[in-house]
Copies of this chain bind each other. A is one copy, B any other.
Amino acid sequence: MADYAKIIEELEGIAVEDNPALVKQKSRDFYWYSPILKEELDNVVGDLVVSPTTEEEVIRVLKVAYAHGVPVTPRGGGTGNYGQAMPLSGGIVLNLINMNKVKEILPGRVICEPGIIISELDRQTKVHSGQELRFHPSTKQTASVAGFIAGGSGGVGSITWGGLRDLGNILRLRVVTMEAEPRVLELSAWDLQKVSHAYGTNGIITEVEMPLAPAYDWVDVIVGYDEFMDAVKFADALSHKNGILLKEVAPIAAPIPFDYFTRHKPWLKEGQSVVVLMVAPHSMEPFLALAERMKGDVRFRSDQVESMKGIPHAYELTWNHTTLRALKLDTNITYLQVQYPGPDHVEKVRVMTELFPDEVIGHLEFIKFDGQIQCAGLPLVRYTTKERLEEIISIHEENGCPIFNPHRYTLEEGGMKQTDQVQLAFKKETDPKGLLNPGKMIAWENPDFDFSAGKNYLFPGLEVFAEAGE
């Protein structure tokens, strides 16, 4: 057991919290979205929350932690869904939320600290010069920018710009290494793959440079269709229109909208599926012309309601927020993350939709993938057993629809199901003792793990918490 009294002493001048209730609060994220992760991670808790305000303080924390051999798990807004920010080996939770300054805003780019909340960042760049991030998660109001980079992949705006993995969608990251003498590295272009979407396992992000797009007063629109597949076809046709500027296109099947979008209920029609959209104001007229031609029932327009007070933003009906709204009202709901590779993505959706009537309920997000319009899915699943969930996953994969499993806490099992050699090599360089966010990178913990054997990885470190919870 590490000597936390000594550690606290050595961190003098830096905000530290060891009150167990508060530490527990900062040791969790939205892992409970998954009934499986809820069971596995429910007792996970750190020993200390440390909240640096400068890069110098981050360096001091890492130096002390390294000397004491204490794990460090970085944390932003704690809006991840897979335990990204949860300290699977205890130790220090590095809360970066107070490093929240915007340093410079330029045409097409912003430089800022890692912990700034995305909606605040967008507010400042919009006021400064009518700009905003290219895309953001549905948790924009509570997620930090570096948390999004380290734990997310895309979101609202991906219909135009693709994902965080795409060259040019992150411009530069400053990263501090976990060594006796921590180094500060500047990464750009291809090198960004070393740390983006690595859950903070191989460096602590202390500065971020992101590209900006023009900020418009996006109009929230909900278009209804009696048949889900008609909603999907409209979304697909619309997404292919070069001249109509969109930020969000999400077909969502009945009964989700009417049952779970409580604040929008007055505008919705029972039994209808919908497409939730964000449309640039100057594209509204052509957008409505297309919706009319494709027999869409325009139910809601934020530019025509008297007041948006009390009504969530359209993006807060989409991506992970769709699931969140369902979970609030029905705890038997869970979800999957599905890829429907194009160009026959619409047909794949049709086949999958027909295979699981009432059990898997459609929720798609149209995105750009390698320059082509495609869709990803975050369908809701009426959860019965682990086994049935695995079966649903297998059937999707057999039908050419890969699953990014949101019921796993490791990078590999939630992602490509193989070792990311670039990230592994970088971790060896930046975190030789393996103290950064332990348990998240299988390639580090168990290099011989066989991904094809069909067994889940179980991080041995979790046993401590299992005992504690008993």
Contacts and interface: CB of A to CB of B under 8 A. Distances in A.
Interface of A: 106-109, 129-130, 134, 161-163, 166-169, 171, 188-190, 211-214, 216-217, 239-245, 280-283, 285-290, 293, 343, 368-373
A283 B107 CA distance: 11
A243 B109 CA distance: 13
Given A289-B167, A289-B190, A290-B167, A282 B244 contact: no
24 contacts: A106-B282, A107-B282, A108-B214, A108-B216, A108-B245, A108-B280, A108-B281, A108-B282, A161-B243, A163-B242, A166-B243, A167-B241, A167-B243, A167-B244, A168-B283, A168-B287, A171-B285, A171-B286, A190-B289, A213-B214, A240-B372, A242-B370, A343-B343, A372-B373
A373 B280 CA distance: 22
B285 A188 contact: yes
Nearest to A172: B285
A288 B245 CA distance: 27
A129 B370 CA distance: 31
A343 B370 CA distance: 13
Contacts of A107: 130, 214, 216-217, 281-282
A211 B371 CA distance: 23
Copies of the chain in the assembly? 2
Given A107-B217, A217-B107, A169 B371 contact: no
Contacts of A240: 370-372
A243 B162 contact: yes
Given A242-B368, A243-B161, A280-B108, A285 B189 contact: yes
Contacts of A214: 107-108, 213-214
A162 B370 CA distance: 17
A253 to B, nearest CB: 23
A264 to B, nearest CB: 26
Contacts of A370: 240, 242
Contacts of A211: 243, 245, 282-283
A204 to B, nearest CB: 23
A167 to B, nearest CB: 4
A242 B109 contact: no
Nearest to A290: B167
Nearest to A370: B240
A256 to B, nearest CB: 26
A216 B188 CA distance: 21
Contacts of A189: 285-286, 288-289
Given A168-B244, A189-B286, 11 more contacts: A108-B216, A108-B280, A162-B242, A167-B241, A168-B243, A168-B245, A171-B286, A211-B243, A211-B245, A240-B372, A242-B369
Q: Which among A107, A168, A245, A289 has the highest number of chain B CB atoms within 10 Å?
A: A168
| Nearest 6 A/B pairs, CB to CB | A162-B242, A168-B243, A240-B371, A189-B289, A108-B282, A166-B243
Q: Which among A243, A287, A290 has the highest number of chain B CB atoms within 10 Å?
A: A243
B371 A161 contact: no
Given A190-B289, A282-B211, A373-B371, A242 B169 contact: yes
Contacts of A293: 190
